[in-house]
Amino acid sequence: MSAPTTAALSSALAIRTPWKLILAYLPMLLLTAMMMTGGRPISPDPLEWIPLAISFLFFNILFFLMLRTGFTDRYRVILFSTMAFLFVIGFIANLIEMRGSMALSESAMAQGETPFCHMVIPVTLIPAALTRTIIFPGHLLGGFAPIAGMVALWIGASLALGRGFCSWGCFYGGLEDGFSRLLKKPLIRRIGRHWTYLPYAILLAVVLLSAATLSPAYCEWLCPFKTVTEYNEVNNFRTLLQAVIMVALFAGLVVVLPILTRKRTQCGLFCPFGAFQSFTNKVSAYDIRIDRTKCVDCGKCAQVCPTFSMDADSISRGGTRLSCCRCGKCVDACPKQAISFHIKGTEAGASPKWSRLLFLYPAFLFLAVFGGSMVQWGLYRILLLLSTGSMVK
C-alpha cells in the first residue's frame, strides 16, 4: 500500500459535516465582528469601513478554511505574515505623521514617548521587581502603546497560549515567518543544537545589563526590529554603532537566514523574549503531543519545525522542546497524523479534533483581535496612499 499524502491525512482533522462546521464557525464570526468593530456603529468614511470589511472577511475566510480543511499553519502563516507586514506599514506611517521621522530623539525618550512593545517585558519586569523602577522610557498608562496595557495583554495571552504568543500574536514574528516560506527547500540544513540555547543566554545577558545600567539594553543595542519601526537618532559614533548592529541583525536573522534555512532564525536562535516566553509553556493549558504508537520516527516534524523545537530526543519523549510556539506546522506535516494539539491533563491523542478546536478558538481570537487592528491600520495607510498620494495626513 502506498503511503498516504500529508494533505489527505491532515484533512482527517477537517470538519466535514455542514451543521458541525456552522456550529464551530458561527461563534468566531460573531466574536470577531464584535471585537473588530468594538461594538460601535460602522463609520461611513470609506477609509475606515473598507479596511474593517476587508480585514473581517480576510480573517474569517481563513478561519473557515482552517476548520474546513483541517490545516492550521497553512492559513495561520498567511494571517500572521500579513499582520506583521501591515503593522510595519501602519507603524512607520504613524511615526512619520506624529514625529516627522522614524528616529526617536533623546528628548522624546526623556518625555516618555517611546511606544512599549512586548520584546522588552522580561528586561523590564526583573529590574522592576528588584528595584521598583520601570527602566523603559514609555507611558505606564495612557498615551500610545502604554506599558501597563501591553503587560496586561501579555499576561492574558501567555496564560492562555504560552509561547503560542510567538506564533499567534507577535507582530514581529510574522516577518521572518513570511520570509522563511519564500524558498521551497532550505539551502542551509544543519544548525548546531547548541545555538538553540543562545536566546536564553541573550535573555540572561540583557536582564543582567538592564539591571546594571537601569536602561533597556536590548532596545539600545540588540533589537533587530528597530530597523523597521523606530530607532535611536543617529548623532554620534555610539548611536551609529547601535544602528549598524540592529540593521545587520535584521538583515541576517529576519530576512536572509529565514530564507536560506526555512526557519524562524530570529525567534529560534536569538529572541530573548521568546526564551522568556518559553517558560510560560509550563503554565498554559495546551501543548503539542506525539502519539508514540502512531509515530514512525520519520523526523518530518523536526525538519519542518520553524523554531528548532523538535528533535530526536523530544520526539522519543512524545512531545516538543520547551521552545515550542504552537504554530501547528508539525501537526499539518505529520504523515501519520501522530501529532496533535493537546489539552494538559487529558489523554494524549484522544479527540484530536476537539483539542485542536479548543486551542484554535483562543489562539485565533487573539490573532484576530490583536492582529485585526494592525491589518486595518496598515490597509488604512495603503488606501490613504492610493486616494491622496501620501500615507500620512
Partner 1 sequence: MRGLLLGLASGTACLASCAPALTPFILAQGQSLGHNFRLLAQFLLGRLAGYLVFAILAWSAGLALGAGRIGHLVPIGTVYILLGGLLALYGCLPARETCAAGLATRLQARLTGSHSVVMPVLLGFLTGVNLCPPFLLALTEAARAGSLAGSLWFFATFFLGTSLFFIPFPLAGLLNRHGAVRLVARLTSGVLGVYYLILGVSMLY
Q: Which chain residues interact with partner 1 by CB under 8 A?
A: 130-131, 194, 197-198, 200-202, 204-205, 208-209, 211-212, 217, 221, 237-238, 241, 245
Extract long-range pairs of 129-138: CB within 8 Å, 24+ residues apart.
130/211, 131/211, 131/214, 133/214, 135/210, 135/214, 135/215, 135/216, 136/216, 136/219, 137/109, 137/110, 137/112, 137/113, 138/112, 138/113, 138/114
Closer to partner 1 by CB, 201 or 386: give it.
Answer: 201
Q: How far apart are CA 50 and CA 58, in angstroms?
A: 12
Q: Which is nearer to partner 1, 178 or 272 (CB)?
A: 272
| Number of neighbouring beta carbons within 10 Å of residue 210 | 25
**Can you say how many angstroms the Cα of residue 336 is from the centroid of all Cα atoms in its chain?**
27
* Nearer to partner 1 (CB atom), residue 145 or residue 245: 245
Least separation in angstroms between residue 42's CB and partner 1 is 50
Q: Give me 136's grid cell.
A: 523603559
The single-letter DSSP state of residue 102 is S
Smallest gap from residue 172 Cβ to partner 1 (A): 20
Pick 184 or 194: Cβ nearer partner 1: 194
CB of 390 to partner 1, least distance (A): 37
Query: Shortest gap between Cβ of 237 and partner 1 (angstroms)?
Result: 4
Quote the DSSP letter at residue 116: P
Instruction: State which residue, 95 or 217, has the beta carbon closest to partner 1.
Output: 217
Radius of gyration of the chain (CA): 21
Nearer to partner 1, 92 or 253 (CB): 253
**Cβ at position 231, least distance to partner 1 in Å:** 16
Least Å distance, CB 208 to partner 1, is: 4
